[in-house]
C-alpha cells in the first residue's frame, strides 16, 4: 500500500493595510446607502405602492422577487469574474462544505427578501437603520451568549446608545406611521417589524459567515460567489412554487402581481435603477465579507449603521432636485415633526459609533478625557 505524505504548507496570512481598510469602508458605506435608496425607488415606480404598503404587499410580490433575484445574479456574476475567486471556491467544494454553505445562503435569501419587502412599507433610510441597529445588538448578544465573547466597555456603550436611537425611531414610526408621512404609504409599523426581523436573522447569518471566513486561505469573494449561486438556486423554485400557490388560491392576485410588475418595469428608469441597485449591492456585500474576515462581524455591523445617513441624504437631494414633481414623488422630503425625530435617532446612533472609534485610539481626546473622568475601562 502506498502512503502519500502531504507536504506541509506555509501559508502567508494576508494582513490588510490601513489604507485598504479605509477604501473598503468608504466603498461599503457608500454602496450600502445607495442600494437601499435604489430599492426604495423601484417600489416608488410601482403603481401598487401608492395604494399603501400594507394593502399592496401581494401586488408588489413580483417586484420584490425581481429585485432580490437581480441582486443575487449580479453579485454572483461579478464575484465570478475573478479567476482566483473561482479557483479558491472550487478547491473547497466538497459535499460537506457545500452543506455548510447552504446555512448562510438560506438565511441570506430570508434576510435579503425581508429587507427588500420592508422598503415597500417604510422609508429606505428608516428600514436600513432599524435592520442594521437590531442586527448589531443581536450580534453582540449572540457572541456573548453562544461564544462567551466578552465585549469591550466602549462597545457596550455604543450598544446602549444604539438601543436608545432605535427606540426613538420606533416612537417616530408609531406616532407618524400612517397619515403622518406621505413618503412611505400605509402602516410603517409593519415595515419596521419586518426590518427588525431581518436584523435578528442577519446577526446569526453573520456568525455563520464569520465561521466560514475563519479559514485564513478562504477569500471573502469566494464566499460571496458561493452564497449568491446557492441563493439563486434556492430562490428560483421558491418563486415558481409561490406563483403556483397564488394562481391556485387566488388567480386575481397573481394576475395583479404580474400586471404590476410589468407596469413597474415599463417605467423608463426602472431597469437602470434595478441594475444600479444590484451592482451597489455587490459593493456593499463584498465590503461586508472583507470586513468580517479581516476585522470582525461586529465591526462590520458598526459601519453598517452608517448606511442610512447616505440613503437619507440622497433621498433629500433627489426630492428637492425635482423628484417632488414626479408622480409618484421620488426621494423623501423633510417633514416636521417626523423627520426631526428621525434625525435625532440617526444622530444618536451615529454619535455612538464615532465615540467607539475614538475610544479605540488611546491617544485621542475622547479616550484621554473618558479615562480621566471615568476610569481605565474607557479604552478596554
Per-position DSSP letters for 235-302, written without gaps between them: HHHHHHHHHHHHHHH-HHHHHHHHHHHHHHHTSTTHHHHHHHHHHHHHHHHHHHHHHHHHT-HHHHHH
| Assigned C-alpha cell, 297 | 462581524
Cα dist from 96 to 101, 103, 128, 143, 209, whole Å: 9, 12, 34, 25, 16
Contact 129, 169 (CB under 8 A): yes
- Over residues 302-316, the pLDDT tens digits come to 788 788 888 988 989
Higher pLDDT, 50 or 239: 239
**pLDDT for 7:** 38
d(CA 242, CA 223): 28
Alpha carbon 143 to its chain's center: 19
* DSSP summary character for residue 3: -
**pLDDT for 251:** 66
**pLDDT for 365:** 57
> Cα angle vertex 63, ends 61, 68, to 5°?
95
- Over residues 205-230, the pLDDT tens digits come to 988 888 888 877 788 888 899 999 99
Q: What mean pLDDT comes out for the span 154-163? A: 78
Q: What mean pLDDT comes out for the span 4-32? A: 67
Residues with Cβ within 8 Å of 9's Cβ and at least 6 positions away in sequence, in order, are none
d(CA 30, CA 207): 24
Query: Residue written as cell 501559508?
Result: 11
Query: Residue written as cell 453573520?
Result: 206
Higher pLDDT, 246 or 250: 246
Considering only 12-21, 165-174, 222-231, 248-257, which range has the smallest mean pLDDT? 12-21
Closest CA to 257 of 247, 267, 270: 247
Per-position DSSP letters for 65-109, written without gaps between them: HHHHHHHHHHHHHHHHT-HHHHHHHHHH--HHHHHHHHHHHHHHH
**pLDDT for 180:** 39
- Can you tell me whether residue 17 is helix, strand or coil? coil
**pLDDT for 197:** 94
**pLDDT for 37:** 92
Q: What mean pLDDT comes out for the span 262-271? A: 91
Q: Is the pLDDT of residue 83 over 50?
A: yes
Higher pLDDT, 133 or 52: 133
| Assigned C-alpha cell, 224 | 460571496
Q: Is the pLDDT of residue 281 over 70?
A: yes
**pLDDT for 374:** 61
d(CA 380, CA 374): 12
Contact 70, 112 (CB under 8 A): no
Cis peptide before 337 (omega within 30 of 0): yes
- Mean pLDDT of the chain, nearest integer: 80
Query: Residue written as cell 430599492?
Result: 39
Q: Quick one: pLDDT band at residue 380, thresholds 50, 70, 90?
A: low
| Assigned C-alpha cell, 207 | 456568525
Q: Is the pLDDT of residue 369 over 70?
A: no
Q: Is the pLDDT of residue 270 over 90?
A: yes
Cβ neighbours of 312 (radius 10 Å):
26
Is the Cα torsion angle 232, 130, 197, 158 positive or negative in sign?
positive
Is the Cα torsion angle 127, 38, 319, 45 positive or negative in sign?
negative
| DSSP3 helix / strand / coil % (the chain, rounded to 5) | 75, 0, 25
Between the two ends of the chain, the Cα-to-Cα distance in Å is 57
Q: Is the pLDDT of residue 1 over 70?
A: no
Q: What mean pLDDT comes out for the span 56-63? A: 78
Alpha carbon 96 to its chain's center: 28
Amino acid at each position: 500500500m502506498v502512503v502519500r505524505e502531504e507536504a506541509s504548507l506555509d501559508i502567508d496570512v494576508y494582513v490588510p493595510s490601513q489604507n485598504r481598510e479605509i477604501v473598503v469602508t468608504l466603498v461599503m458605506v457608500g454602496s450600502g446607502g445607495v442600494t437601499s435608496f435604489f430599492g426604495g425607488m423601484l417600489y416608488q415606480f410601482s403603481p401598487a405602492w401608492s395604494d399603501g404598503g400594507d394593502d399592496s404587499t401581494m401586488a408588489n410580490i413580483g417586484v420584490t422577487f425581481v429585485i432580490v433575484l437581480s441582486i443575487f445574479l449580479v453579485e454572483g456574476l461579478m464575484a465570478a469574474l475573478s479567476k482566483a475567486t473561482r479557483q479558491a471556491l472550487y478547491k473547497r467544494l466538497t459535499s460537506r462544505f457545500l452543506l455548510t454553505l447552504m446555512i448562510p445562503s438560506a438565511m441570506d435569501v430570508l434576510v435579503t427578501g425581508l429587507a427588500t419587502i420592508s422598503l415597500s412599507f417604510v422609508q429606505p433610510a428608516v428600514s436600513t437603520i432599524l435592520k442594521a441597529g437590531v442586527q448589531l445588538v443581536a450580534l453582540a448578544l449572540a457572541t456573548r451568549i453562544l461564544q462567551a465573547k466578552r465585549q469591550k466597555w466602549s462597545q457596550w456603550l455604543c450598544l446602549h446608545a444604539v438601543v436608545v436611537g432605535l427606540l426613538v425611531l420606533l416612537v417616530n414610526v408609531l406616532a407618524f406611521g400612517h397619515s403622518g408621512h406621505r413618503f412611505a404609504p400605509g402602516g410603517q409599523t409593519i415595515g419596521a417589524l419586518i426590518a427588525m426581523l431581518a436584523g435578528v436573522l442577519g446577526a446569526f447569518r453573520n456568525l455563520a459567515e464569520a465561521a466560514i471566513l475563519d479559514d485564513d486561505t478562504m477569500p471573502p469573494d469566494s464566499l460571496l460567489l458561493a452564497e449568491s449561486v446557492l441563493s439563486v438556486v434556492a430562490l428560483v423554485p421558491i418563486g415558481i412554487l409561490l406563483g403556483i400557490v397564488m394562481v391556485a388560491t387566488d388567480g386575481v392576485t397573481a394576475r395583479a402581481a404580474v400586471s404590476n410588475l410589468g407596469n413597474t418595469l415599463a417605467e423608463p428608469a426602472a431597469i437602470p435603477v434595478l441594475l444600479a441597485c444590484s451592482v451597489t449591492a455587490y459593493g456593499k456585500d463584498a465590503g461586508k465579507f472583507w470586513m468580517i474576515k479581516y476585522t470582525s462581524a461586529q465591526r462590520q455591523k458598526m459601519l453598517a449603521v452608517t448606511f442610512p445617513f447616505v440613503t437619507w441624504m440622497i433621498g433629500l437631494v433627489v426630492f428637492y432636485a425635482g423628484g417632488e414633481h414626479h408622480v409618484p414623488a421620488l426621494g423623501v422630503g423633510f417633514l416636521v415633526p417626523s423627520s426631526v425625530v428621525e434625525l435625532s435617532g440617526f444622530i444618536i446612533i451615529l454619535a455612538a459609533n464615532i465615540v467607539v472609534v475614538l475610544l479605540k485610539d488611546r491617544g485621542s481626546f475622547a479616550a484621554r478625557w473618558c479615562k480621566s473622568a471615568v476610569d481605565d475601562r474607557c479604552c478596554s
